[in-house]
Amino acid sequence: MTTLGTTIYTWAKGRQVGTDPGGNRYFTERSAPKGRRAKRWVVYKGAAEASRVPPEWHAWLHYTSDQPLTGTDRAAWVKPHQPNLTGTAQAYLPPGHDLRGGKRERATGDYEAWQP
């Protein structure tokens, strides 16, 4: 969801550069004013959550690369982008976490508790 101001600015001055697999759309100014570089921004599909921007588009948004990278530029061992899942049902909970019962395995023999 975008604000009215972002929608109007995008319509008036924006040029779409591309989209990512999550449906986010990326824009730049049609013409940059003299003396500064063109603005770049993203219009999110759904709720605005910055962790949903894949690394290749993050690099482009922050002027690290001149052109957005493509998925084929990634090495074969790189996993697909995954947004921050903290606070969701898919969040990682380590053993012993209260929401996983609060129980964990006893320490192995290589651990000695400190005694003053």
pLDDT tens, 44-79?
Answer: 998 888 888 988 899 999 999 888 876 666 778 877
The pTM (predicted TM-score) of the whole model is: 0.69
pLDDT tens, 75-92?
Answer: 788 777 788 888 888 898
**What is the pLDDT at residue 22?**
87
The stretch 18-33 carries a mean pLDDT of 90
CA distance 74 to 55: 10
- Which has the higher per-residue pLDDT, 107 or 51? 51
Sign of CA dihedral 65, 67, 71, 75: negative
Q: What is the largest CA-CA distance in the chain?
A: 70
